[in-house]
Structure 1
Amino acid sequence: MSLRHPLSTLRHYGYLLHYALVRANYQRRLIATTKRVGQTKFRSYELFNRHGKDVLLQALLLNLDDGDVVVDVGANTGTYTLAAAADAPSVEVVAVEPNPNVASQLQANVEANPFDDRVRILTCGLGDADETREFHLSNYDELGSFSSAHASAWEAQVVDTAQVSMRSLDSLVDSDAVPPPDHLKIDVEGYGVNVLRGAESVLRDYRPTVYFERHDARGRYDESAAKNLLREAGYELVPVREGWVCEPAATTTTSHSV
C-alpha cells in the first residue's frame, strides 16, 4: 500500500473534520447563516459559502428571468438551488439529489428560507434510463456518485452503497412530473454525459441553457463525450472555470466556443 504525501494526509483529515462538523450542524440545525452570491442572499447550514463564487452560478443568475424553471441536477446541499430561488421571486427550481443523506441537508436549507413552495426536491438520480442503480456514498459527502472512481477521488473513500432510483429528464418532462426547464445545471461527479443522453428530447424541444460542471475522467466515465453530444444538439459551449455554459446556437451572442 502506498503512503500518502504528508500534505495529502493533512488535507484528507481536514476534509473529514469539515464534513463531520457540517453533519453535526445539519443534524442539530444549530446555525443557518446568510450566504451571498453577488447581491443575492439566502440562508444555509453550510459552514462556508461553498460554490458561492462559481462562474457557472454567476452565469445562471445573470440569465434568470422571472417565471423561469431551473432543474438543478446534482443539487448537493443547494447552493445553486437556493441562489436561483432567492434571485427572482417567481423562479421555480427542481433540485435533484440522489444521496439520501445530502438530500435531507438540502431540505433543511430550503426550510431555512421563505421560498420552499417554489423549490421541489427529487431524491433520485438522473441518467439515460428509468431504472435502479448502485450509488456510492463517500466519506466526502459532496463526492457521492454512481461512479465509484469519482466517489473515491481526492483521497476520499467509498463507505457504503445504496440502491437509488434513476430517471431520465425526458421521461420526467414527458410525464409532467417536471416542467420543461429554461435552465439545466449538471454537476454529477462524472455521470454528466449520461444525464445529457437522457435529456436529448428536452434539449431539442425546449432549448434550455445548460451549465455543465466538468470532472476528471475516472474509471469508465469520461465527460469529454458530453462536448460532442451538446454540439450535435446545436449548442455553443463557452468555457468557464468550472466547466461550460452551453447556449442554443440560435441565441448565442458570443463568438468564443470550446
Structure 2
Amino acid sequence: MTETHAPAAAPFSARLKHLLATSPASRPLARLRSLRNWPNRLRHPELATLYREDGYIDTLLPRFITPGTNCLDIGAHFGAVSYRMEELSQGGWLGIVEASPWKAALLRRRFATATVFETAVSDEDGTISFYENIDRPGFSSLSDRASRGETREVKVPVARLDTLLSEDTPVGFVKIDVEGHEYAALRGAEALLRRDRPVILFEAGAAADEDLDTTGYVRLFAWLTGELGYDIYAACDLVEGRPALDAEGFERHRVYPFTAFNFFAIPSGSGPETTADIGDQR
C-alpha cells in the first residue's frame, strides 16, 4: 500500500470504461461480455446462477424504477447503475455517492443534472481513510483490500446519508455497493429508510473474505428484516418467484457454489405475488 494526500488522476482505461458504461452501448456490451464469458461458464457449471445475476437484476430494475422515481446510487463506481437509473426514472431526482475523488469528478461531468456527493458514507460524520485500488478500482473500499491489488490510501470526507439528504426529496430506490461497509452506511440512513421505505438493492459478498469483516452482512440482514421491516430476496429468487429469505438462506447464497451476491430489500407486504409481476429471465 502507498499513502498519498492528493487524489490520483483517472487512468485512461477507467475513463474509457466509464464512457462505455454510461452510453447506449452499455447493454449490448454487457451481452457481449456475457458471450465471451462462456469458457468460464463451461468450466464452472456450478456457478451458472451467479453468472446470470446481472441479467436478473437488469430484468428487475424496471419493476422498481419507474418514471419519476427518485433514486440514490451509493458507491457508483463507473456509473453503469446511475445511467440505468437515469434512463428508467425519466426525470426523477438522481443522487450519486462516490468516495473516490477521480471517479466523482467523472460522474459529475457525465450526470450534469444529478447531485453528486464526493464522500464516503457511514454512521458518522468526519474524515476517514479510503483505499483506492490501483489495479482493480472496483475493489476500492474503506477497508484495505490489498489482496485484490495495489492500494493507495487517501483521506476523504465521510458523512451519514441522513446528514447529506433533504427530507424534501423522498427516495424510492437505493442501490448500494461499498465493498463490505453496507451496514454502517445504511445505519447512517436510518431516518431516510424509516421515512421513505425505498426498495434497496445491496451487495453482500462471500460469507468468508480475508479482507473484510463479513459479520456486517449478517447484522445488516438482521437489522433490515427485524427493526426496519423489510423482506430480502436474491435477484434470482425474485425472478423465479421464490419467497423471501431467512437468515440461513441468505448465508447459503453466499457460500460456494455461490448463487447470489446482490439482494433486494423490499418493505414487507409489498413484494411480488408472482413472476408475472416482474417478467421471467429463464
**TM-score under structure 2 normalisation?**
0.66
Q: Which residue of 2 aligns with 1:250?
A: 269
The answer as to whether partners of 2:128 and 2:157 remain within 8 angstroms in 1 is yes
Per the TM alignment, residue 25 of structure 1 is displaced from its structure 2 partner at its CA by 3.9
The answer as to whether partners of 2:95 and 2:115 remain within 8 angstroms in 1 is yes
The answer as to whether partners of 2:22 and 2:83 remain within 8 angstroms in 1 is no
Per the TM alignment, residue 194 of structure 1 is displaced from its structure 2 partner at its CA by 0.8
Cα separation, 1, equivalents of 2:155 and 2:225: 33
Report sequence identity in percent. 21
Per the TM alignment, residue 95 of structure 1 is displaced from its structure 2 partner at its CA by 0.6
Q: 1:53 to 1:127 in 2, by over 3 A?
A: same
Question: Letter of the aligned partner of 1:100 in structure 2?
Answer: P
The answer as to whether partners of 1:37 and 1:83 remain within 8 angstroms in 2 is no
2:82 aligned with 1:86, yes or no? no
Q: 1:23 to 1:178 in 2, by over 3 A?
A: farther
Of stretches 53-62 and 91-100 in structure 1, the one that deviates more from structure 2 is 53-62
Q: 1:87 to 1:255 in 2, by over 3 A?
A: closer
The answer as to whether partners of 1:60 and 1:211 remain within 8 angstroms in 2 is no
> In proportion to residue count, which structure has more strand?
1
Per the TM alignment, residue 103 of structure 1 is displaced from its structure 2 partner at its CA by 1.6
Cα separation, 2, equivalents of 1:60 and 1:30: 20
Q: Which residue of 2 aligns with 1:235?
A: 230
Q: 1:101 to 1:226 in 2, by over 3 A?
A: same
Corresponding residue SS for 2:171? coil
Cα separation, 2, equivalents of 1:169 and 1:102: 19
Q: Pick one of 120, 126, 133 that aligns with 1:138.
A: 133
Q: Pick one of 137, 158, 163 that aligns with 1:171.
A: 163
Per the TM alignment, residue 57 of structure 1 is displaced from its structure 2 partner at its CA by 4.4
2:177 aligned with 1:187, yes or no? yes
Cα separation, 2, equivalents of 1:36 and 1:183: 21
Q: Which residue of 2 aligns with 1:157?
A: 150
What CA RMSD, in Å, does the superposition of the two structures yield over aligned residues? 3.1
Corresponding residue SS for 1:237? strand
> In proportion to residue count, which structure has more helix?
2
Per the TM alignment, residue 37 of structure 1 is displaced from its structure 2 partner at its CA by 4.0
Corresponding residue SS for 1:166? strand
Question: What are the residue-to-residue correspondences of 1:41-60 with 2, within 5 Å?
Answer: 53=54, 55-60=56-61
Question: Letter of the aligned partner of 2:179 in structure 1?
Answer: E
Q: Which residue of 1 aligns with 2:3?
A: none
Corresponding residue SS for 1:194? helix
Per the TM alignment, residue 60 of structure 1 is displaced from its structure 2 partner at its CA by 2.6
Corresponding residue SS for 1:246? strand
The answer as to whether partners of 1:26 and 1:105 remain within 8 angstroms in 2 is no
Cα separation, 2, equivalents of 1:65 and 1:213: 22
2:99 aligned with 1:98, yes or no? yes
The answer as to whether partners of 2:203 and 2:262 remain within 8 angstroms in 1 is yes
2:10 aligned with 1:22, yes or no? no
Question: What are the residue-to-residue correspondences of 1:6-21 with 2, within 5 Å?
Answer: 21=12
**TM-score under structure 1 normalisation?**
0.72
Q: Pick one of 187, 200, 204 that aligns with 2:190.
A: 200
In the alignment, structure 1 segments of 5+ residues that lack a partner are 1-18, 39-50, 111-115
Cα deviation, 1:78-101, whole Å, max 9, x if unaligned, reads: 111111112232222101000011
Cα separation, 2, equivalents of 1:128 and 1:183: 20
Name which structure has the greater RCO, CA cutoff 8 Å, separation 6+. 2
Q: Pick one of 18, 25, 45 that aligns with 1:35.
A: 25
Corresponding residue SS for 1:87? helix
Cα separation, 2, equivalents of 1:31 and 1:244: 22
Cα deviation, 1:59-114, whole Å, max 9, x if unaligned, reads: 2333112221111000111111111112232222101000011222323443xxxx
Per the TM alignment, residue 133 of structure 1 is displaced from its structure 2 partner at its CA by 0.6
